[in-house]
Amino acid sequence: MSITRLSLVVLLGTLSLGLSSQAIAMRGLIVNWTSAPKKLDCPSTCGKTLLKHAVPTGLDRTGKPSFNICLAFGKDSWGSEGRVGFNLNGESSCITVIDKKMHSSSRYYCQCSNDPRPRIPR
pLDDT for 6 equals: 46
| 35 bridge partner residues | 109
pLDDT of residue 25: 46
pTM attached to this predicted model:
0.69
The count of residues in the chain is 122
- Of 56, 45, 52, the closest CA to residue 93 belongs to 45
Mean pLDDT score across all residues of the chain: 75
d(C-alpha 80, C-alpha 27), whole Å: 34
Instruction: Find residue 56's DSSP bridge partners.
Output: 68
**Where along the chain do its domains lie?**
3-113
For range 5-24, the mean pLDDT: 43
Q: What percent of the chain has pLDDT over 90?
A: 23
With a cut of 60, say whether residue 90 has pLDDT above it: yes
Across the strands, what pairs with 24? Answer: none
> What confidence score (pLDDT) does residue 119 get?
63
Give the span between the Cα atoms of 6 and 12, in whole angstroms.
10
